[in-house]
Amino acid sequence: MDEITAFGGLVLAVAGGFALALASTKLTERLPVPAPGIVLVLGAVASNVVHPIGDFLSTREVVRIGTVALIAILFDGGMDVGLRRFRTSFTPIALLGVVGTFATAALTAVFAHTILGFGWLTAWLVGAAIAPTDPAVMFSVLGSHEVRGRAATTLEGESGVNDPVGIALVVGLLDYATHAHSTLWVVPREFFVELAVGLAVGAAGGMLLVPLWRRIALPIESLYPVGVLFSAGIIYGAASVAHGSGFLAVFVAGLIVGDARVPFKAQVVGFHGTMASLAELVVFVVVTFSVFVNGGTIGVVARALHIPMRPRRPSPWRITVGLEQEPEDVRRYVVADASRANGRAVRDLPLGDQAWISIVVRHGRAIQPRGSHVLEPGDEVVVLVEPEDEAAVRRVFEGREEAAARTRSGL
């Protein structure tokens, strides 16, 4: 009985702490502090009242918990971004994720050496450790805010692809420090291996997962989200075993799955969004590092760069309809800033006779699309369209950058 009581007290403390952390995130609506920062402060205060996490978990266990959590976060982040959005921002993502991470590590190393007095090797290890953006913080902060333009896609994409840089720097520097005949050439070699293997395994895993998802009939629909989650774990494990970036592989697979038309996708997306939120809380409470650096300054930097950023209002009600066959004639589009649909009335849209707008959703409110209704950027439009006319209708709602990226990729 004493064991049951003790375990019950532990469950009560942990569940109560997470519930309090969830409730405290409402403060982000009034204070310029990201939700991860509030959770971290509460965790720091709680650690002075109860036993610290280190008394229960070893460093290896904490790292493993963080790794599993990041698998869920990055796969969900990849699905949310999608391959089409990623392609439109590929150049800034690559520059920020690769060149930017190397540059941040270098600047941090110079600061740690000249100002803090660290040796060059230690300074570079410090820079390599903190240079990559924390995916948990980035997806948490951006997931709760609406950011206009390509800024959100760039930041989310960058946090998903910078893992090879951090790994290459840390592994290369440690190899250089521990082997007498080692050279710094191991850093670019490790980077290209991590990048190439991670990309290959992620792309192969995503392209294999989509047809399997469509063809394998499971007995109940609730098993599909679980199967996809296990698949993300398999992709991470395969890439890591092959000495590639498992995190990059999971993110790339999520990008491919994000744009795929597959059965029970709404259930899978909802499940993975929930798992990612839970994983974010676990990371912030157990293994968060440099939350205030990565997350607390996002709003400040956004305002300095004149990037519109406002809290995202939740949409608690969803319309779901179960169908036995894939609805090939139903499409959902988002009106882009530079699209032909922006600022035009429904009756003036060049949709032809084979397309019909059934519903428009603006700021979480359903609007009956009358002929005089004028569309605005960000409007979600559900259209009934014949499959052979879908490409022409899609070009009405997408922007020039999305269309150009699609043309370059042959889609």
CA distance 171 to 177: 10
- Specify the residue for token string 């530079």: 338
361 φ, ψ (degrees, to nearest 5): -115, 120
| CATH number (domain holding residue 385) | 3.30.70.1450
Identify the domain boundary among 277, 311, 345: 311
Q: Give a yes or no: residue 316 inside a domain.
A: no
Mean of pLDDT over the chain:
76
- pLDDT at residue number 288: 45
The predicted model gives 174-182 an average pLDDT of: 71
Identify the domain boundary among 278, 311, 344: 311
Q: 349 and 305, same structural domain?
A: no
> Would the pTM count as exceeding 0.75?
no
- pLDDT at residue number 292: 40
- pLDDT at residue number 39: 57
Residue 320 has pLDDT above 70, yes or no: no
Q: Give a yes or no: residue 142 inside a domain.
A: yes
Q: Give a yes or no: residue 322 inside a domain.
A: no
Q: 351 and 276, same structural domain?
A: no
Q: Give a yes or no: residue 251 inside a domain.
A: yes
Q: 287 and 356, same structural domain?
A: no
Q: 353 and 273, same structural domain?
A: no
Which residues, 6+ apart, have CB-to-CB distance to 141 below 8 Å?
A: 34, 35, 36, 295, 298
- pLDDT at residue number 293: 41
Element (H, E) at 62: helix 59-88
End-to-end CA distance of the chain: 64
Q: Give a yes or no: residue 323 inside a domain.
A: no
| CATH number (domain holding residue 187) | 1.20.1530.20
Q: What's the pLDDT tens digit per position in 102-161?
A: 888 888 889 888 988 888 888 888 887 777 765 545 555 555 555 555 666 777 777 777
The number of folded domains in the chain is 2
CA distance 168 to 124: 12
Q: Give a yes or no: residue 319 inside a domain.
A: no
Q: 246 and 390, same structural domain?
A: no
DSSP 274-295: HHHHHHHHHHHHHT--SHHHHT
- At 332, the pLDDT band (50, 70, 90 cuts) reads confident
The predicted model gives 34-48 an average pLDDT of: 55
The predicted model gives 93-101 an average pLDDT of: 82
Q: What's the pLDDT tens digit per position in 189-235?
A: 888 888 899 999 999 999 999 999 888 888 888 888 999 999 999 99
Q: 207 and 106, same structural domain?
A: yes
Print the domain residue range for 192. Answer: 2-311
**Residue bearing the bigger pLDDT, 28 or 206:** 206
**How far are the Cα atoms of 129, 257, 305, 377 from residue 253, in angstroms, in the given order?**
25, 6, 32, 29
CA distance 168 to 174: 10
Q: 239 and 196, same structural domain?
A: yes
Q: Give a yes or no: residue 321 inside a domain.
A: no
